[in-house]
């Protein structure tokens, strides 16, 4: 007995088993493509009419029917049926119920293979645009916080050990630069996403005299996919988007690790606003940085989606295979996770309070100006390796005295090099160390302000 509900039911002698229906259906998650499916169908129908493949009255009926369906979807009145497998067949069946045979003519010259590839590209293009806006808003929050702390001294770390003094503004702007590269990656990926698969049909193209360039222009695509086999089977665009998303999440995971450390009483550099934290069910004193911790955790989730998509595609022969249905859930979840993370992060940074005294105190520990002492000796004529050795001995001596280099007497410092003069104490101050890094990319407050100016110009151009 045939299953008349299926668009392909004429080939089969028995209905699909109920378990198989549930296993193979995608409508529960791909219905988010509905508006893009309608957008693509309208462009396809208008092209069919312009090419005299279907009658103009059919085009008018299709336009009217799809407009009514779009309104049903937007108002929550559309009934999604599992029996109809996916978003495409649900909409097509509803259209045929509304307008009769004209609805059956809509699928002329196309396949679900090129249809779904088009829908996903339309959705992903819009998603990239949203991601770029949210990256910009996060960068704005970083700039606003960095502007307040262009002069705030903090320890810079390598190996999580105190290395050299930096300003907090300079540290924050490192993440601005990471996000700048992230935005460039998404903008670059968008160009490859923005190519039209429709017209490739199932895998070989179509015998109808279609005009793919017309459809591409109406849908705002930059170009058409030039090989029909590649057009329906390619999922590079999904992998590339997820890869770019994984990098953003990795950058924010690194930032989150620092926020978690800095908010700990052991550091005490910052306080995260209460609305981004939770307490403990047993320890009443606790204030847990849940949001940055979850960002770290969700980074693993997005990384997993990237591996899932790469694995999905690695063994597929050309052209389309049912495996490709599995691209949507990891792709959709990646987008959802990234978008909400960017939004909440921008808000969280606006709720951060900085303890500048704690930062300064930490920068004064760990011999953060040791390199400045070595540079001082080099400028006096000592080879750098000899200067390095002399300062290392001075650090050991200061450790034994339980004091900083700047607390050693001039006589003590001279025992490590006769080149040391009274002006050494200008070099050993935190402000002196910062001011000496006065070149592009350096941590000197003047350079931080210039970098902030460039960041402002960049943000103005990207709005």
264-279 pLDDT tens trace: 999 999 999 999 998 8
Look at residue 3 in the predicted model and tell me its pLDDT: 53
Q: Summarize the confidence of residues 193-220 as an average pLDDT.
A: 98
Q: What's the CATH class of domain 362-462?
A: mainly alpha
How many CB atoms within 10 Å of residue 421?
Answer: 12
Name the catalytic one among 263, 280, 417, 418: 280
Is residue 280's pLDDT more than 80? no
CATH topology of domain 113-153+166-357: Fumarase C; Chain A, domain 2 (1.20.200)
User: Please, where are the H alpha helices in 75-104?
Assistant: 87-99, 101-104
Asked whether the predicted pLDDT for residue 21 surpasses 90, the reply is no
User: How many whole angstroms from its chain centre is CA 208?
Assistant: 41
Q: Is the pLDDT of residue 2 over 90?
A: no
Question: Where exactly are the structural domains of the chain?
Answer: 9-108, 113-153+166-357, 362-462
* pLDDT, averaged across the chain: 94
Q: What is the mean pLDDT of residues 417-428?
A: 92
pLDDT over threshold 70, residue 201: yes
Q: For position 6, what pLDDT does the model report?
A: 58
Q: How far is CA 105 from CA 31, 95, 177, 222, in A?
A: 22, 11, 51, 27
Give the C-alpha distances (Å, rounded to integers) separating 367 from 18, 73, 171, 462. Answer: 71, 64, 19, 41
418 is a catalytic site residue:
no
Active site residue 253: no
Task: Please say if the pLDDT value at position 284 is more than 80.
Answer: no
Overall average pLDDT of the 420-443 stretch: 93
pLDDT tens digits for 116-141? 999 999 999 999 999 999 999 999 99
Catalytic residue among 159, 281, 409, 418: 159
What is the Cα–Cα distance from 403 to 257, expressed in whole angstroms? 30
d(C-alpha 183, C-alpha 138), whole Å: 11
Give pLDDT, residue 1. Answer: 39
Question: Which CATH number is 9-108 given?
Answer: 1.10.275.10
């Amino acid at each position: 007995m045939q299953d008349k509900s299926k668009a392909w039911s004429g080939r089969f002698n028995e209905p699909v088993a109920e378990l198989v229906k549930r296993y193979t259906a995608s409508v529960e998650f791909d219905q988010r493509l509905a508006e893009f499916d309608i957008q693509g169908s309208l462009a396809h129908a208008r092209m069919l009419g312009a090419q005299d493949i279907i009658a103009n009255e059919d085009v008018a009926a299709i336009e009217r029917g799809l407009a009514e369906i779009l309104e049903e979807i937007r108002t929550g009145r559309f009934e999604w049926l599992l029996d109809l497998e996916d978003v495409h067949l649900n909409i097509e069946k509803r259209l045929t119920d509304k307008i009769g045979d004209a609805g059956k003519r809509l699928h002329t010259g196309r396949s679900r293979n090129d249809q779904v590839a088009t829908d996903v590209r339309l959705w992903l293009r819009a998603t990239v645009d949203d991601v770029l806006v949210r990256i910009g808003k996060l960068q704005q929050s970083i700039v606003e916080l960095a502007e307040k702390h262009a002069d705030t001294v903090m320890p810079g770390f390598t190996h999580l050990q105190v290395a050299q003094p930096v300003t907090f503004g300079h540290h924050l702007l490192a993440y601005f630069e990471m996000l700048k590269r992230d935005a460039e990656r998404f903008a670059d990926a968008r160009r490859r996403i923005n190519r039209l698969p429709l017209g490739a049909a199932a895998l070989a193209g179509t015998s109808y005299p279609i005009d793919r360039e017309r459809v591409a222009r109406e849908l705002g695509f930059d170009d058409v996919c030039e090989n029909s086999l590649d057009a329906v089977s390619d999922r590079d665009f999904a992998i590339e988007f997820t890869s770019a998303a994984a990098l953003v999440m990795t950058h924010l995971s690194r930032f989150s690790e620092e926020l978690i450390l800095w908010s700990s009483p052991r550091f005490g550099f910052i306080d995260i606003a209460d609305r981004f934290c939770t307490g403990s069910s047993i320890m009443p004193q606790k204030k847990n940085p849940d949001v940055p911790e979850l960002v770290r955790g969700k980074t693993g989730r997005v990384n997993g989606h990237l591996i899932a998509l790469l694995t999905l595609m690695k063994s597929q022969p050309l052209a389309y295979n049912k495996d490709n249905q599995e691209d949507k859930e990891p792709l959709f979840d990646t987008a959802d996770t990234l978008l909400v993370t960017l939004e909440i992060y921008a808000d969280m940074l606006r709720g951060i309070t900085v303890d500048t005294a704690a930062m300064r105190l930490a920068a004064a520990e760990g011999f953060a100006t040791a390199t400045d002492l070595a540079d001082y000796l080099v400028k006096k004529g000592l080879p750098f390796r000899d200067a390095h050795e002399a300062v290392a001995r001075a650090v050991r001596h200061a450790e034994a005295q339980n004091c900083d280099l700047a607390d050693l007497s001039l006589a003590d410092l001279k025992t490590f090099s006769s080149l040391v003069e009274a002006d050494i104490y200008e070099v050993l101050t935190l402000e002196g160390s910062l001011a000496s890094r006065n070149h592009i990319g350096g941590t000197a407050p003047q350079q931080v302000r210039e970098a902030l100016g460039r960041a402002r110009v960049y943000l103005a151009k990207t709005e």
